Amino acid sequence: MNVRYLGHCSFLINSSKGSSIITDPYGVHLPYKFPMISADVVVISHEHQDHNAEWRVGGSPVIVKRTTSFPVEHEVPVQRTKEKLVFQGIPTFHDNFSGRRRGPNTTWVWHLEGVRYVFLGDVGHVLTDKQVEAIGGDADILFLPVGGLSTVGSTEAALIVNQLNPKIVLPMHYNTAQIEFSNLASEPLENFLNKMENVEMTYTMSIDIDLARLPMKTKVMVLKYE
């Protein structure tokens, strides 16, 4: 499997059979270089324009989003690769005020080849015990916002790492020179990295994922983006 960072909260995940998932594609107002790319599935955490630009993804993907206030499950058969993907959506919030300021958010959980992926979207609070239970155990790959302002900041993000005990953490949604004046994040990536013990700067846009080679101790892996 392979995970490629597309910037902000958007990642491309490819199974070894070729099934492809894109998380939270962002609109053209963000000055990152979203590639001309196709996918089988697009996962949307919430309906803000820096996360729901599904129209930028080619290939007529299945759009997975939560349309109720309850937990949801989506089964997506990928005819091209003969894989069946199942996505579990756990209700969370975009703020620490039960959604009263920024609305709802969905944490998505799915498995590929025995690896548990947890995509937190724009979660704005430390998880409750009930939410941790709903996620269903330790995360293998955790996509974690760390930039504050409109998501959890570095301190809360570090607490979530302790809650979910992931094998690999992929930081996202942090302040960069590109979005410095966009009112989307207040903290640079370094604030979070300084709170972590095991950090690898990959200097690449993508990493390969193999269940047998997941680290025993939580590792933060920083991917590049365009």
Q: What is the pLDDT of residues 113-168, one digit of tens each?
A: 999 999 999 999 999 999 999 998 789 999 999 999 999 999 999 999 999 999 99
Residues of the chain with pLDDT under 70: none
Going from N- to C-terminal start, the domains of the chain cover 2-222
Considering the four listed CATH numbers 3.30.559.30, 3.40.50.280, 3.60.15.10, 1.10.3720.10, the one that applies to the domain covering 2-222 is 3.60.15.10
Beta strands in 113-224 (DSSP E): 115-119, 141-145, 168-172, 199-201, 206-208, 219-222
C-beta atoms surrounding 114 within 10 Å: 11
pLDDT at 181: 87
pLDDT at 212: 95
Residues 69, 92: Cα–Cα separation, whole Å: 10
Buried b (16+ CB within 10 A) or exposed e, 72-84: bebebebeeeebe
Residues 139, 145: Cα–Cα separation, whole Å: 15
Separation of CA 129 from chain center? 20
pLDDT at 226: 86
pTM score of the predicted model: 0.97
Residues 175, 180: Cα–Cα separation, whole Å: 6
